[in-house]
Structure 1
Amino acid sequence: MSDLVFYTNPQSRGQIVRWMLEEVGAPYRTEILDYATTLKGDAYRAINPMMKIPAIVHDGKVVTEVAAICAYLADAFPDAGLAPALTDRADYYRYLFFAAGPLEMTFSLKAIQYEPPADKQRMFGHGNEALVFEALDRMLGDRDYVTGTFSAADLYLASELGFMMRFGMITGSPTLQAYVARCTDRDAYRRGQQLDTEAAEAMKAAVPA
Protein backbone atom coordinates (compact mmCIF):
# COMPACT_ATOMS: atom_id res chain seq x y z
CA MET A 1 0.00 0.00 0.00
CA SER A 2 1.40 3.39 -0.97
CA ASP A 3 1.64 6.11 1.64
CA LEU A 4 -0.84 8.72 0.42
CA VAL A 5 -2.17 11.45 2.71
CA PHE A 6 -4.70 14.08 1.67
CA TYR A 7 -4.84 17.40 3.54
CA THR A 8 -8.07 19.30 3.00
CA ASN A 9 -11.10 21.11 4.27
CA PRO A 10 -14.42 19.92 2.81
CA GLN A 11 -15.41 23.50 2.00
CA SER A 12 -12.46 24.26 -0.24
CA ARG A 13 -10.92 23.46 -3.61
CA GLY A 14 -9.92 20.24 -1.90
CA GLN A 15 -13.18 18.90 -3.32
CA ILE A 16 -11.42 18.75 -6.69
CA VAL A 17 -8.60 16.62 -5.34
CA ARG A 18 -11.05 14.43 -3.41
CA TRP A 19 -12.76 13.66 -6.73
CA MET A 20 -9.39 12.94 -8.32
CA LEU A 21 -8.43 10.58 -5.51
CA GLU A 22 -11.70 8.72 -5.88
CA GLU A 23 -11.07 8.39 -9.62
CA VAL A 24 -7.56 7.07 -8.98
CA GLY A 25 -8.86 4.44 -6.57
CA ALA A 26 -5.69 4.17 -4.49
CA PRO A 27 -6.07 3.99 -0.69
CA TYR A 28 -5.44 7.30 1.05
CA ARG A 29 -5.77 8.89 4.47
CA THR A 30 -7.60 12.18 4.91
CA GLU A 31 -6.47 14.88 7.32
CA ILE A 32 -9.17 17.52 7.78
CA LEU A 33 -7.79 20.96 8.63
CA ASP A 34 -9.63 23.82 10.27
CA TYR A 35 -9.05 27.25 8.75
CA ALA A 36 -8.63 28.98 12.12
CA THR A 37 -6.35 26.47 13.84
CA THR A 38 -4.67 23.44 12.27
CA LEU A 39 -4.26 25.05 8.85
CA LYS A 40 -1.98 27.64 10.47
CA GLY A 41 -0.19 25.24 12.81
CA ASP A 42 3.48 24.35 12.60
CA ALA A 43 2.78 20.77 11.53
CA TYR A 44 0.96 21.83 8.38
CA ARG A 45 3.24 24.79 7.69
CA ALA A 46 6.07 22.25 7.42
CA ILE A 47 4.10 20.68 4.54
CA ASN A 48 2.91 23.88 2.89
CA PRO A 49 4.44 27.14 4.11
CA MET A 50 1.71 29.00 2.20
CA MET A 51 -0.85 27.50 4.63
CA LYS A 52 -3.14 26.65 1.72
CA ILE A 53 -5.16 23.55 1.04
CA PRO A 54 -5.34 21.06 -0.48
CA ALA A 55 -2.05 19.22 -0.41
CA ILE A 56 -1.00 15.61 -0.68
CA VAL A 57 1.99 13.70 0.60
CA HIS A 58 2.75 10.59 -1.43
CA ASP A 59 5.59 8.32 -0.38
CA GLY A 60 7.12 11.25 1.47
CA LYS A 61 6.82 13.71 -1.44
CA VAL A 62 4.72 16.85 -1.04
CA VAL A 63 2.55 18.13 -3.87
CA THR A 64 0.54 21.36 -3.61
CA GLU A 65 -1.55 23.40 -6.09
CA VAL A 66 -4.67 21.70 -7.39
CA ALA A 67 -3.67 21.41 -11.05
CA ALA A 68 -0.27 20.00 -10.06
CA ILE A 69 -1.88 17.46 -7.72
CA CYS A 70 -4.27 16.31 -10.44
CA ALA A 71 -1.47 15.95 -12.99
CA TYR A 72 0.75 14.19 -10.45
CA LEU A 73 -1.91 11.67 -9.43
CA ALA A 74 -2.74 10.90 -13.06
CA ASP A 75 0.93 10.04 -13.65
CA ALA A 76 1.50 8.28 -10.33
CA PHE A 77 -1.45 5.94 -10.92
CA PRO A 78 -1.50 5.35 -14.69
CA ASP A 79 -3.89 2.39 -14.47
CA ALA A 80 -6.70 4.87 -13.76
CA GLY A 81 -6.35 6.14 -17.34
CA LEU A 82 -6.61 9.81 -16.41
CA ALA A 83 -3.82 11.09 -18.66
CA PRO A 84 -3.20 10.43 -22.36
CA ALA A 85 0.03 9.00 -23.71
CA LEU A 86 3.08 11.27 -23.44
CA THR A 87 3.03 11.70 -27.21
CA ASP A 88 -0.54 13.03 -27.15
CA ARG A 89 -0.65 15.58 -24.34
CA ALA A 90 -0.85 18.91 -26.15
CA ASP A 91 -4.58 19.43 -25.52
CA TYR A 92 -4.34 17.81 -22.11
CA TYR A 93 -1.78 20.35 -20.86
CA ARG A 94 -3.37 23.24 -22.71
CA TYR A 95 -6.80 22.80 -21.12
CA LEU A 96 -5.51 21.81 -17.69
CA PHE A 97 -3.44 24.97 -17.41
CA PHE A 98 -6.05 27.16 -19.07
CA ALA A 99 -8.24 26.18 -16.13
CA ALA A 100 -5.42 26.84 -13.66
CA GLY A 101 -4.56 30.19 -15.25
CA PRO A 102 -7.19 32.29 -17.07
CA LEU A 103 -10.23 30.50 -15.62
CA GLU A 104 -8.91 30.51 -12.04
CA MET A 105 -8.10 34.22 -12.37
CA THR A 106 -11.63 34.86 -13.63
CA PHE A 107 -13.04 32.84 -10.72
CA SER A 108 -11.04 34.76 -8.13
CA LEU A 109 -11.76 38.22 -9.52
CA LYS A 110 -15.46 37.44 -9.91
CA ALA A 111 -15.59 36.24 -6.29
CA ILE A 112 -14.47 39.69 -5.13
CA GLN A 113 -16.59 41.43 -7.78
CA TYR A 114 -13.64 43.07 -9.49
CA GLU A 115 -13.27 43.63 -13.22
CA PRO A 116 -9.86 45.03 -14.25
CA PRO A 117 -10.06 48.34 -16.14
CA ALA A 118 -9.83 47.94 -19.89
CA ASP A 119 -6.39 49.53 -20.06
CA LYS A 120 -5.03 47.14 -17.39
CA GLN A 121 -6.55 43.84 -18.51
CA ARG A 122 -3.47 42.66 -20.36
CA MET A 123 -1.61 42.67 -17.02
CA PHE A 124 -3.89 40.00 -15.51
CA GLY A 125 -3.16 37.10 -17.84
CA HIS A 126 -6.79 36.41 -18.73
CA GLY A 127 -7.96 39.54 -20.53
CA ASN A 128 -11.48 39.68 -19.17
CA GLU A 129 -14.33 37.43 -18.15
CA ALA A 130 -16.17 37.60 -21.47
CA LEU A 131 -13.06 36.63 -23.41
CA VAL A 132 -12.39 33.62 -21.17
CA PHE A 133 -15.87 32.16 -21.61
CA GLU A 134 -16.00 32.91 -25.32
CA ALA A 135 -12.69 31.06 -25.66
CA LEU A 136 -13.98 28.08 -23.65
CA ASP A 137 -17.10 27.86 -25.80
CA ARG A 138 -14.89 27.70 -28.89
CA MET A 139 -12.44 25.26 -27.31
CA LEU A 140 -15.12 22.84 -26.08
CA GLY A 141 -17.74 23.32 -28.77
CA ASP A 142 -16.88 20.28 -30.90
CA ARG A 143 -15.68 17.81 -28.30
CA ASP A 144 -17.16 15.76 -25.47
CA TYR A 145 -13.89 15.74 -23.53
CA VAL A 146 -10.59 17.55 -23.81
CA THR A 147 -8.69 14.61 -25.29
CA GLY A 148 -11.57 12.48 -26.53
CA THR A 149 -11.88 10.52 -23.29
CA PHE A 150 -12.30 11.75 -19.72
CA SER A 151 -9.01 12.85 -18.13
CA ALA A 152 -7.60 14.85 -15.23
CA ALA A 153 -7.84 17.94 -17.43
CA ASP A 154 -11.62 17.48 -17.68
CA LEU A 155 -11.90 16.85 -13.97
CA TYR A 156 -10.15 20.10 -13.11
CA LEU A 157 -11.81 22.23 -15.78
CA ALA A 158 -15.31 20.91 -15.03
CA SER A 159 -14.74 21.42 -11.30
CA GLU A 160 -13.84 25.08 -11.75
CA LEU A 161 -16.81 25.69 -14.03
CA GLY A 162 -19.09 23.70 -11.74
CA PHE A 163 -18.11 25.76 -8.71
CA MET A 164 -18.94 28.97 -10.54
CA MET A 165 -22.30 27.63 -11.67
CA ARG A 166 -23.17 26.20 -8.25
CA PHE A 167 -22.54 29.49 -6.48
CA GLY A 168 -24.41 31.56 -9.06
CA MET A 169 -21.30 33.29 -10.36
CA ILE A 170 -22.14 32.28 -13.93
CA THR A 171 -25.05 30.62 -15.66
CA GLY A 172 -22.84 29.07 -18.29
CA SER A 173 -23.64 28.63 -21.96
CA PRO A 174 -25.44 25.44 -23.09
CA THR A 175 -22.05 24.12 -24.22
CA LEU A 176 -20.47 24.63 -20.79
CA GLN A 177 -23.51 23.37 -18.91
CA ALA A 178 -23.55 20.17 -20.97
CA TYR A 179 -19.80 19.72 -20.50
CA VAL A 180 -19.99 20.02 -16.70
CA ALA A 181 -22.99 17.67 -16.53
CA ARG A 182 -21.18 15.11 -18.69
CA CYS A 183 -17.96 15.24 -16.66
CA THR A 184 -19.64 15.05 -13.26
CA ASP A 185 -21.91 12.14 -14.15
CA ARG A 186 -19.42 9.72 -12.63
CA ASP A 187 -19.46 7.48 -9.56
CA ALA A 188 -16.14 8.87 -8.33
CA TYR A 189 -17.55 12.40 -8.39
CA ARG A 190 -20.60 11.32 -6.39
CA ARG A 191 -18.44 9.45 -3.87
CA GLY A 192 -16.21 12.49 -3.42
CA GLN A 193 -19.19 14.77 -2.89
CA GLN A 194 -20.64 12.41 -0.31
CA LEU A 195 -17.36 12.13 1.58
CA ASP A 196 -16.96 15.90 1.72
CA THR A 197 -20.57 16.38 2.80
CA GLU A 198 -20.04 13.92 5.64
CA ALA A 199 -16.76 15.61 6.63
CA ALA A 200 -18.42 19.04 6.68
CA GLU A 201 -21.24 17.72 8.84
CA ALA A 202 -18.76 16.12 11.24
CA MET A 203 -16.85 19.40 11.56
CA LYS A 204 -20.07 21.28 12.25
CA ALA A 205 -21.13 18.76 14.88
CA ALA A 206 -17.78 19.07 16.62
CA VAL A 207 -18.15 22.82 17.17
CA PRO A 208 -19.38 23.54 20.72
CA ALA A 209 -22.90 24.96 20.85
Structure 2
Amino acid sequence: MSKDLVFYTNPMSRGRIARWMLEETGAPYETRILDYDGDMKAPDYLKLNPMGKVPTVVHGDTVVSECAAICAYLADAFPDAGLAPPTDRRGAYYRWLFFAAGPLEAATVNRAMGFEVPRERERTVGYGNFSRVMDALEMAVSGSDYIAGETFSAADVYVGSHVSWGLQFETIEDRAAFRAYRDRVTDRPAFRRAAERDDAAMPNTEG
Protein backbone atom coordinates (compact mmCIF):
# COMPACT_ATOMS: atom_id res chain seq x y z
CA MET A 1 0.00 0.00 0.00
CA SER A 2 1.40 3.39 -0.96
CA LYS A 3 -0.65 5.55 1.39
CA ASP A 4 1.26 7.88 3.68
CA LEU A 5 1.65 6.48 7.19
CA VAL A 6 1.88 8.96 10.07
CA PHE A 7 2.51 7.94 13.67
CA TYR A 8 1.55 10.27 16.53
CA THR A 9 3.23 9.34 19.78
CA ASN A 10 5.24 10.25 22.85
CA PRO A 11 8.17 8.05 23.91
CA MET A 12 6.82 8.01 27.48
CA SER A 13 3.56 6.35 26.52
CA ARG A 14 1.88 3.24 25.17
CA GLY A 15 3.02 4.57 21.83
CA ARG A 16 6.00 2.28 22.30
CA ILE A 17 3.70 -0.63 21.50
CA ALA A 18 2.64 0.92 18.20
CA ARG A 19 6.25 1.84 17.38
CA TRP A 20 7.28 -1.79 17.79
CA MET A 21 4.41 -2.89 15.56
CA LEU A 22 5.33 -0.34 12.91
CA GLU A 23 8.91 -1.56 12.91
CA GLU A 24 7.69 -5.14 12.49
CA THR A 25 5.78 -4.20 9.33
CA GLY A 26 8.87 -2.74 7.69
CA ALA A 27 6.74 0.04 6.17
CA PRO A 28 8.11 3.60 6.05
CA TYR A 29 6.34 6.00 8.37
CA GLU A 30 6.56 9.56 9.67
CA THR A 31 6.77 10.13 13.42
CA ARG A 32 5.21 13.14 15.12
CA ILE A 33 6.06 13.52 18.79
CA LEU A 34 3.33 15.20 20.84
CA ASP A 35 3.55 16.61 24.34
CA TYR A 36 0.92 15.81 26.92
CA ASP A 37 -0.27 19.25 27.94
CA GLY A 38 -0.21 21.00 24.58
CA ASP A 39 -0.16 19.09 21.31
CA MET A 40 -2.36 16.21 22.48
CA LYS A 41 -5.11 18.64 23.45
CA ALA A 42 -4.86 20.83 20.36
CA PRO A 43 -8.07 21.04 18.27
CA ASP A 44 -6.47 19.54 15.15
CA TYR A 45 -5.25 16.49 17.03
CA LEU A 46 -8.52 16.04 18.92
CA LYS A 47 -10.18 15.61 15.53
CA LEU A 48 -8.00 12.52 15.09
CA ASN A 49 -8.21 11.24 18.65
CA PRO A 50 -10.97 12.81 20.77
CA MET A 51 -9.42 11.21 23.87
CA GLY A 52 -6.45 13.54 23.50
CA LYS A 53 -3.91 10.76 23.96
CA VAL A 54 -1.41 8.74 21.96
CA PRO A 55 -0.75 6.68 19.98
CA THR A 56 -2.70 7.35 16.84
CA VAL A 57 -1.84 6.11 13.36
CA VAL A 58 -3.10 7.79 10.20
CA HIS A 59 -2.78 5.70 7.07
CA GLY A 60 -4.06 7.69 4.11
CA ASP A 61 -7.66 8.50 5.08
CA THR A 62 -7.81 5.84 7.80
CA VAL A 63 -7.37 6.88 11.44
CA VAL A 64 -6.72 4.23 14.07
CA SER A 65 -6.19 4.71 17.80
CA GLU A 66 -5.98 2.25 20.71
CA CYS A 67 -2.92 0.01 20.66
CA ALA A 68 -4.67 -3.31 20.15
CA ALA A 69 -6.59 -1.87 17.20
CA ILE A 70 -3.40 -0.38 15.74
CA CYS A 71 -1.64 -3.73 15.96
CA ALA A 72 -4.53 -5.57 14.30
CA TYR A 73 -4.95 -2.91 11.61
CA LEU A 74 -1.28 -2.77 10.64
CA ALA A 75 -1.09 -6.56 10.43
CA ASP A 76 -3.92 -6.50 7.88
CA ALA A 77 -2.71 -3.37 6.07
CA PHE A 78 0.73 -4.89 5.46
CA PRO A 79 0.06 -8.60 4.92
CA ASP A 80 3.49 -9.26 3.41
CA ALA A 81 4.98 -8.83 6.90
CA GLY A 82 3.19 -12.02 7.98
CA LEU A 83 2.00 -10.62 11.29
CA ALA A 84 -1.46 -12.21 11.34
CA PRO A 85 -2.48 -15.85 10.91
CA PRO A 86 -4.75 -16.83 8.01
CA THR A 87 -8.31 -15.73 8.69
CA ASP A 88 -9.48 -19.29 9.34
CA ARG A 89 -6.86 -19.72 12.09
CA ARG A 90 -7.26 -16.51 14.06
CA GLY A 91 -9.09 -17.82 17.11
CA ALA A 92 -6.16 -17.64 19.53
CA TYR A 93 -4.84 -14.49 17.83
CA TYR A 94 -8.02 -12.52 18.47
CA ARG A 95 -8.70 -14.17 21.81
CA TRP A 96 -5.43 -13.18 23.50
CA LEU A 97 -5.03 -9.85 21.72
CA PHE A 98 -8.31 -8.67 23.19
CA PHE A 99 -7.80 -10.49 26.47
CA ALA A 100 -4.77 -8.25 26.98
CA ALA A 101 -6.72 -5.16 25.93
CA GLY A 102 -9.58 -6.01 28.30
CA PRO A 103 -9.15 -8.21 31.37
CA LEU A 104 -5.35 -7.93 31.61
CA GLU A 105 -5.26 -4.15 31.24
CA ALA A 106 -8.11 -3.65 33.70
CA ALA A 107 -6.78 -6.08 36.29
CA THR A 108 -3.24 -4.71 36.30
CA VAL A 109 -4.30 -1.06 36.39
CA ASN A 110 -6.75 -1.70 39.21
CA ARG A 111 -4.09 -3.58 41.18
CA ALA A 112 -1.57 -0.76 40.61
CA MET A 113 -4.14 1.76 41.87
CA GLY A 114 -4.70 -0.29 45.01
CA PHE A 115 -8.16 -1.50 44.08
CA GLU A 116 -9.17 -5.08 44.80
CA VAL A 117 -12.50 -6.42 43.57
CA PRO A 118 -14.64 -7.57 46.53
CA ARG A 119 -15.32 -11.30 46.26
CA GLU A 120 -19.07 -10.75 46.08
CA ARG A 121 -18.60 -8.35 43.13
CA GLU A 122 -16.30 -10.48 40.97
CA ARG A 123 -19.09 -11.34 38.55
CA THR A 124 -19.67 -7.62 37.99
CA VAL A 125 -16.24 -6.88 36.52
CA GLY A 126 -14.99 -8.32 33.26
CA TYR A 127 -11.98 -10.09 34.70
CA GLY A 128 -13.21 -11.63 37.96
CA ASN A 129 -10.06 -11.23 40.03
CA PHE A 130 -6.36 -10.59 39.57
CA SER A 131 -5.23 -14.16 40.29
CA ARG A 132 -7.58 -15.57 37.69
CA VAL A 133 -6.16 -13.18 35.10
CA MET A 134 -2.58 -14.17 35.96
CA ASP A 135 -3.42 -17.86 35.62
CA ALA A 136 -5.11 -17.30 32.25
CA LEU A 137 -2.14 -15.27 31.03
CA GLU A 138 0.27 -18.00 32.10
CA MET A 139 -1.78 -20.55 30.18
CA ALA A 140 -1.74 -18.32 27.11
CA VAL A 141 2.03 -17.87 27.01
CA SER A 142 2.88 -21.47 27.93
CA GLY A 143 1.03 -23.45 25.29
CA SER A 144 3.37 -22.63 22.39
CA ASP A 145 6.29 -20.38 21.57
CA TYR A 146 3.99 -17.52 20.60
CA ILE A 147 0.55 -16.43 21.66
CA ALA A 148 -1.23 -17.69 18.53
CA GLY A 149 0.93 -20.74 17.81
CA GLU A 150 4.44 -21.30 16.55
CA THR A 151 4.67 -18.06 14.56
CA PHE A 152 5.18 -14.54 15.91
CA SER A 153 2.22 -12.23 15.26
CA ALA A 154 0.82 -8.79 16.01
CA ALA A 155 -0.79 -10.29 19.11
CA ASP A 156 2.68 -10.98 20.48
CA VAL A 157 3.58 -7.30 20.07
CA TYR A 158 0.62 -6.30 22.21
CA VAL A 159 0.63 -9.11 24.77
CA GLY A 160 4.42 -9.10 24.90
CA SER A 161 4.48 -5.38 25.66
CA HIS A 162 2.09 -5.88 28.55
CA VAL A 163 4.14 -8.74 29.94
CA SER A 164 7.43 -6.88 29.55
CA TRP A 165 6.13 -3.74 31.24
CA GLY A 166 4.31 -5.74 33.87
CA LEU A 167 7.49 -7.50 34.89
CA GLN A 168 9.48 -4.28 34.82
CA PHE A 169 7.02 -2.29 36.92
CA GLU A 170 5.80 -5.25 39.00
CA THR A 171 2.18 -4.95 37.91
CA ILE A 172 2.04 -8.64 37.03
CA GLU A 173 3.34 -11.54 39.06
CA ASP A 174 6.94 -12.59 38.48
CA ARG A 175 6.44 -16.07 37.01
CA ALA A 176 8.98 -18.08 35.05
CA ALA A 177 6.55 -18.51 32.15
CA PHE A 178 6.15 -14.74 31.84
CA ARG A 179 9.89 -14.13 31.84
CA ALA A 180 10.48 -16.81 29.22
CA TYR A 181 7.75 -15.43 26.97
CA ARG A 182 9.05 -11.87 27.32
CA ASP A 183 12.54 -13.00 26.36
CA ARG A 184 11.25 -14.84 23.30
CA VAL A 185 9.14 -12.06 21.86
CA THR A 186 11.53 -9.17 22.54
CA ASP A 187 14.53 -10.92 21.00
CA ARG A 188 13.78 -9.35 17.63
CA PRO A 189 15.48 -6.67 15.51
CA ALA A 190 12.23 -4.70 15.19
CA PHE A 191 11.85 -4.53 18.97
CA ARG A 192 15.40 -3.25 19.36
CA ARG A 193 14.97 -0.67 16.60
CA ALA A 194 11.75 0.58 18.13
CA ALA A 195 13.30 0.88 21.60
CA GLU A 196 16.32 2.74 20.22
CA ARG A 197 14.13 5.22 18.35
CA ASP A 198 11.88 5.86 21.31
CA ASP A 199 14.82 6.17 23.69
CA ALA A 200 16.44 8.69 21.34
CA ALA A 201 13.22 10.74 21.36
CA MET A 202 13.08 10.93 25.17
CA PRO A 203 13.28 14.51 26.51
CA ASN A 204 16.71 15.61 27.65
CA THR A 205 16.43 16.36 31.38
CA GLU A 206 20.08 17.28 31.89
CA GLY A 207 20.90 20.85 32.81
> What is the correspondence of 1:7-156 to structure 2 with a 5 Å cutoff?
7-146=8-147, 147-156=149-158
SS in 2 for 1:31: strand
The answer to whether the Cα contact below 8 Å between 2:36 and 2:53 also exists between their aligned partners in 1 is no
TM-score (normalised: structure 2):
0.94
Residues 137-163 of structure 1: CA deviation (Å, up to 9, x unaligned)? 223323111222000011110101111
d(CA) in 2 for partners of 1:74, 1:188: 14
- 1:172 paired with 2:169, answer no
d(CA) in 1 for partners of 2:130, 2:9: 29
The residue type equivalent to 1:189 in the other structure is F
SS in 2 for 1:201: coil
How far residue 171 of structure 1 moved from its aligned partner, in angstroms, is 4.2
Moved more, 90-99 or 140-149: 140-149
- 1:160 paired with 2:134, answer no
Counterpart in the other structure of 1:199: 201
Structure 1: where are the runs of 5+ without partners? none
User: How many residues are aligned here?
Assistant: 205
How far residue 121 of structure 1 moved from its aligned partner, in angstroms, is 2.1
TM-score (normalised: structure 1):
0.94
d(CA) in 2 for partners of 1:2, 1:187: 25
d(CA) in 2 for partners of 1:140, 1:194: 26
d(CA) in 2 for partners of 1:44, 1:80: 29
How far residue 128 of structure 1 moved from its aligned partner, in angstroms, is 1.1
The answer to whether the Cα contact below 8 Å between 1:23 and 1:188 also exists between their aligned partners in 2 is yes
Residues 93-121 of structure 1: CA deviation (Å, up to 9, x unaligned)? 01111111111111221221211211122
SS in 2 for 1:123: coil
The residue type equivalent to 1:67 in the other structure is A
SS in 2 for 1:149: coil
Residues 35-92 of structure 1: CA deviation (Å, up to 9, x unaligned)? 1111111111010111121110001210011100000000000011000101111111
Aligned-pair RMSD on alpha carbons?
1.4
SS in 2 for 1:27: coil
The residue type equivalent to 2:159 in the other structure is L
Question: Equivalent pairs: percent with the same residue?
Answer: 50
d(CA) in 2 for partners of 1:9, 1:112: 23
Structure 2: where are the runs of 5+ without partners? none
Query: Structure 1: which 4+ aligned runs deviate by more than 4 Å?
Result: none
